[in-house]
Amino acid sequence: MSISGAAPAGPIRANLSIWIQAARPKTLSASFVPVGVGSALAYGRGEGRAPVALAALAGAVLIQVGTNFINDYYDFKRGADTAERLGPVRVTQSGLMAPSAVLASGLFCFVAALLLGVYLVAVGGWPIVLIGLAALACGYAYTGGPWPLGYLGLGDVLVFAFFGFVAVAGTYYVQAGHLAPQVWFASLPVGAIATAILVVNNLRDQVTDAKAGKRTLVVRWGLRGGREEYAALLSLAYLAPLLMWLTGLAGTWVLLPLLSAPLAARCLHRVFTRQGADLNPQLGETARLEVIFGALFSGGLLLS
pLDDT digits (tens, 9 = 90+) for 197-213: 999 999 999 988 898 88
Asked whether the beta carbons of 210 and 219 are under 8 A apart, the reply is yes
Percentage of the chain exceeding pLDDT 90: 73
Q: What is the CATH number of domain 16-303?
A: 1.10.600
Q: What band does 94 get if pLDDT is binned at 50, 70 and 90?
A: confident
Q: What band does 194 get if pLDDT is binned at 50, 70 and 90?
A: very high
Nearest-CA neighbor of 63 among 19, 102, 116?
116
CA distances from 134 to 8, 147, 301 (A): 32, 16, 27
The answer, yes or no, to whether residue 83 has pLDDT greater than 80, is no
d(CA 221, CA 15): 40
Q: Kindly list the domain boundaries of the chain, sorted by start residue.
A: 16-303
Nearest-CA neighbor of 119 among 128, 108, 130, 111?
128
- CB neighbours of residue 223 within 10 Å: 12
DSSP 8-state class, residue 164: I
Q: What band does 39 get if pLDDT is binned at 50, 70 and 90?
A: very high
d(CA 97, CA 250): 48
The answer, yes or no, to whether residue 75 has pLDDT greater than 80, is yes
d(CA 20, CA 9): 20
pLDDT of residue 21: 86
The answer, yes or no, to whether residue 10 has pLDDT greater than 60, is no
Angle among Cα 211, 206, 266 to the nearest 5 degrees reads 170
The answer, yes or no, to whether residue 233 has pLDDT greater than 90, is yes
The answer, yes or no, to whether residue 4 has pLDDT greater than 70, is no
pTM: 0.89
Asked whether the beta carbons of 156 and 195 are under 8 A apart, the reply is yes
CA distances from 165 to 9, 83, 207, 283, 298 (A): 40, 36, 31, 22, 15
- CB neighbours of residue 148 within 10 Å: 22
d(CA 293, CA 298): 8
d(CA 53, CA 48): 8
Average pLDDT over residues 41-70: 95
pLDDT of residue 203: 96
